[in-house]
Amino acid sequence: MKDMETKLQLALDFVELKRAIKVAHEAVEGGVDWIEAGTPLIKSEGVGNAKHFV
């Protein structure tokens, strides 16, 4: 079996886009590997705002 590297994922389950973007920037600086736009964020801000996380 191959050695598997641990990955850290963060779900942005916020309802305010501005707060989610701030936390995403801090998370990347802190070493997070994956960022997920959570359902509460998508429902409150719309799926079109996912472009801020690409």
Residues 13-40 pLDDT 10s: 999 999 999 999 999 999 999 999 999 9
Q: Is the pLDDT of residue 50 over 90?
A: no
Provide mean pLDDT across the span 2-10: 89
In the chain, domain spans: 9-47
40 CB-near residues (< 8 Å, 6+ apart): 13, 14, 15
Q: How far apart are CA 17 and CA 19, in angstroms?
A: 5
Residue 3, pLDDT score: 75
Note the pLDDT of residue 44: 94
Q: What is the value of pTM for the model shown?
A: 0.82
Query: Residue 1 pLDDT > 70, yes or no?
Result: no
What backbone phi and psi angles, to 5 degrees, belong to 40? -60, -40
What's the confidence (pLDDT) of residue 21?
A: 95
